[in-house]
Amino acid sequence: MSALRPLDKLPGLNTATILLVGTEDALLQQLADSMLKADCTSELKVHLARSLPLPCSVNRPRIDLIVFVVNLHSKLSLQSVEESLCHLDAAFFLGKVAFLATGDRRLP
């Protein structure tokens, strides 16, 4: 398991792969489902992970964007993201990483 690099694999034609990383499985799945429902001219693939590093696999597609989902009410969520950042190559931070904060309001 090594650092994730943006240019490890060549891009596919008209395809994009997004990796959602976070500890809230239900929220990640809901976000992935809504992304896949969107009308898009290209093929969109969404993968979910609780943390990085990802297991080494020859079959793993090239990852075009990583979205870290942080629950503001969970220390575990923030800690998981902080630990995962160590497994990213610095080049990923040039337009290929996004942070999504959730839980800003308490539900009644």
**Phi, then psi, of 14 in degrees rounded to 5:** 55, 35
Structure tokens at 54: 């990802």
pLDDT at site 48: 95
pTM for the structure as a whole = 0.85
- Residue in this structure with the two tokens 């990796």, named with its chain if needed: 19
Q: In the chain, where are the structural domains located? A: 33-53+87-107
Strands 65-71 and 97-102: parallel
Give the three-class secondary structure for 45. strand
pLDDT at site 1: 52
pLDDT mean by block of 10 residues, the chain; 108 residues:
67 86 94 92 92 82 91 92 92 88 69
Tell me the Ramachandran region of residue 70: left when phi exceeds 0, alpha when psi lies from -120 to 50, beta otherwise.
beta
pLDDT at site 54: 87
